[in-house]
Amino acid sequence: MPHTLRHLALIMDGNGRWAESRGESRTVGHMAGIESLKRCVEFTAKNGIKYLTVYAFSVDNWKRPRAEVKTLMSLMRQFLATEVSTCLKHGIRINVIGRRDRLPNTIRLAIANAERLTRHCERLVFRLAIDYGSRDVLERATSNGMNVPIRQALEMAAHSIAGIPDVDLLIRTGGEHRLSDFLLWEVAYAELWFTQTMWPAFTVNELQQTIFWYQHRQRRFGGLPLVSGPVHVLENEFGNSSTGSNGLLAGMAIEATENDDTVGASIQ
């Protein structure tokens, strides 16, 4: 039976190489990357996926040339300001995870505004990771001296909304096979997909096909393959069920066809 996809994560790599291969500047690549992101967000919202987390700027991206960092910051600020109306139209809640203390004031304001204006939206939680690194989050969560459960401490350190489920599927474009300090805690049982496609060239069709692949993976969460028919969930001696926490088996498959760029098929 196909798996429900609740939480999708994206490492949007390859903007620079995509642009350079066309004789364009890296800025053009980042701008094209934003268009690709908008398509994926809309697809995600329209197809019943509840959580989307994307890597926009890592704690290590500050090492890039000043001019590129400035461009990225300015693009993120514009994106946050202009996408609010689209998000409101589609019921998308914006949430920015990562540190905020090193961001320019203008971005901090744009984040606060976008989060405030969309906080009532319930169709999709769209999390943008900005100045984000998993190790940084883990370090801050475990050194704040607060006596709260680790997951709650992580959510607080990352500025995340409480109760976001683990990542089901992580896609990285751009040909590299690594996680680059992204959601290390949350991808514990995620299915990982690496594609050679550069992020600006990543289409909704490729996303749809990757989701189709995900839905047919055998997910065991450390247990044994699940059989069809009634499932008897055994409790272990501590009273916890052993099939994973979120009942991911359910729903229908989407039909992924090679030339189908349409959105609207159900992925529940």
CB nearer to ligand FPP: pick between 129 and 248: 129
Question: Angle formed by the axes of helices 204-215 and 26-46, to 10°?
Answer: 50
In the annotation, is 13 catalytic? Answer: yes
Amino acid at 95: N
Q: Does residue 75 bind ligand FPP (CB under 6 A)? A: yes
- Tokens at residue 27, please? 């800025």
DSSP state of 251: S
In the annotation, is 260 catalytic? Answer: no
Region near ligand FPP per CB under 6 A, out of 73-81, 109-117, 233-241, 248-256 = 73-81
CA 164, 218, 55, 31 torsion: positive or negative? negative
Q: Does residue 111 bind ligand FPP (CB under 6 A)? A: no
- Tokens at residue 225, please? 């393959």
Residues written for the chain = 268
Helix segments in the chain, DSSP class H: 15-20, 26-46, 66-90, 105-117, 134-142, 150-157, 204-215
- Tokens at residue 178, please? 């690594």
How far apart are CB 195 and ligand FPP at their closest, in Å?
Answer: 13
Q: Does residue 72 bind ligand FPP (CB under 6 A)? A: yes
How far apart are CB 168 and ligand FPP at their closest, in Å?
Answer: 21
d(CA 130, CA 133): 9
Tokens 């474009």 belong to residue: 173
Amino acid at 148: V
CB nearer to ligand FPP: pick between 79 and 214: 79
Q: Does residue 180 bind ligand FPP (CB under 6 A)? A: no
CB nearer to ligand FPP: pick between 72 and 84: 72
- Tokens at residue 253, please? 């498959």
Site for ligand FPP in 16-45 (CB under 6 A): 16-17, 30, 33-34, 37
Q: Does residue 92 bind ligand FPP (CB under 6 A)? A: no
Q: Which residue lies nearest ligand FPP, judged by its C-beta?
A: 16
How far apart are CB 243 and ligand FPP at their closest, in Å?
Answer: 35
Q: Does residue 7 bind ligand FPP (CB under 6 A)? A: no
CB 95 within 8 A of CB 127: yes
Q: Does residue 128 bind ligand FPP (CB under 6 A)? A: yes
Catalytically active residues are 13, 61
Which chain residues interact with ligand FPP by CB under 6 A?
Answer: 12-17, 30, 33-34, 37, 56, 61, 72, 75-76, 79, 128, 174
